[in-house]
Amino acid sequence: MTKKLLFLVMIAAAMAMSAEAQRLETVSDAAFAGQLDIVGVQAAGLVPWRNVAEDQLIARLSDKKPAVRRAALSKAKEMVVVSEAVRNKVSEMVLNRAELEDIRISAAKTLVPAAKYEKPGAALMSAGLSDASLAVRITACKALYEAAAESYEIKTWIIARLSENNQKMRLAAAWALFKASPQLDVQAELWPLYGNKEESAEIRTEALKSLFLAVETDDMHALTYMIHDVSIIGSPESVHVAGIMLLAADKNPNDRRDITNHIIKTQAHNAVIVAAAKTAAKGRTAEVEKYFHLGYKLSDGTYVAPIDIP
């Protein structure tokens, strides 16, 4: 075999090994920056991510390299519900102010399905209440959205954040109540928040967006007519658009068609309003789910969770 041929064979073998390494990689969530180089993991003699055990994962969550910790958090999403040790470790990462901010934010997102458990819920509420990083506070608050639908304590904590002076935290709290919005005490907070014309357009819009499941669950189509005809007309455009988009929650296609056709005819001069009406007329589509941060699927089937929707 000539040196040139031997060299080509070596290159081909290296490419094959790299492809196999990539096949073993399980970290694909774009929400976590800085993915770990699997080839480097294997070269270091570490277990591939798909085979990692609980104790090995916890060790990687404490690794000195940020890239390893980021990748470990992505893997931890699969284990936080079933492993108390993993969710406790991730909870500690959320509270660790010496940790990098982006990793703490990723840790908070990782805890979403486990927030109903005592330590993760307490960690997220603690970080959301008084952390020095506003970005961590906001993410921690939003990460409680699933638990808010099950836990009275967490729901009450989020509602209390609606009274904060910080506008961004108030927006985060309104956002975080969407899953619990079918509950009457949550609606008692969100409807008046939307209806208060002294509130900012951003807060009123977010309150409406978080009421989608309430309208959908209770089949409140009559109320959606009232919202549009009485309160939304004359409001800032973002509030008007949110109210029209909320019509998509009406499960009666005839009702949706009637009112959206009316809006299209009377607001023909406003392209933004017409576009919102046309979207709402189709009911609960992926576009609507994205707008109301409900979680939706991309065309390739990839699911985008609410916490990852801007």
Q: What is the 3-state secondary structure (H, E, C) of the chain?
A: CCHHHHHHHHHHHHHHHHHHHHHHCCCCCCCCCCCCCHHHHHHCCCCCHHHCCHHHHHHHHCCCCHHHHHHHHHHHCCCCCCCHHHHHHHHHHHHCCCCCHHHHHHHHHHCHHHCCCHHHHHHHHHHHHHCCCHHHHHHHHHCCHHHHCCCHHHHHHHHHHCCCCCHHHHHHHHHHCCCCCCCHHHHHHHHHHHHCCCCCHHHHHHHHHCCHHHHHHHCCHHHHHHHHHHHHCCCCHHHHHHHHHHHHHCCCHHHHHHHHHHHHHHCCCCHHHHHHHHHHHCCCCHHHHHHCCCCEECCCCCEECHHHCC
27 within domain boundaries: no
pTM of the entire structure?
0.82
Higher pLDDT, 28 or 246: 246
Average pLDDT for residues 40-68, to the nearest whole number? Answer: 76
289 within domain boundaries: yes
Average pLDDT for residues 17-38, to the nearest whole number? Answer: 38
Q: What is the Cα–Cα distance from 306 to 170, expressed in whole angstroms?
A: 18
216 within domain boundaries: yes
Are 136 and 97 a contacting pair, CB within 8 Å? no
Expressed as residue numbers, the domain containing 225 is 177-310
Task: Give the pLDDT band of residue 272 (cuts 50, 70, 90).
Answer: very high
Task: Give the pLDDT band of residue 134 (cuts 50, 70, 90).
Answer: very high
The reported pLDDT for the residue numbered 119 is: 98
Domain count, the chain: 1
153 within domain boundaries: no
Helix axes 101-110, 118-130, angle to 10 degrees: 140
137 within domain boundaries: no
123 within domain boundaries: no
Radius of gyration of the chain (CA): 24
Average model confidence (pLDDT) across the chain: 84
143 within domain boundaries: no
Higher pLDDT, 247 or 3: 247
82 within domain boundaries: no
Task: Give the pLDDT band of residue 211 (cuts 50, 70, 90).
Answer: very high
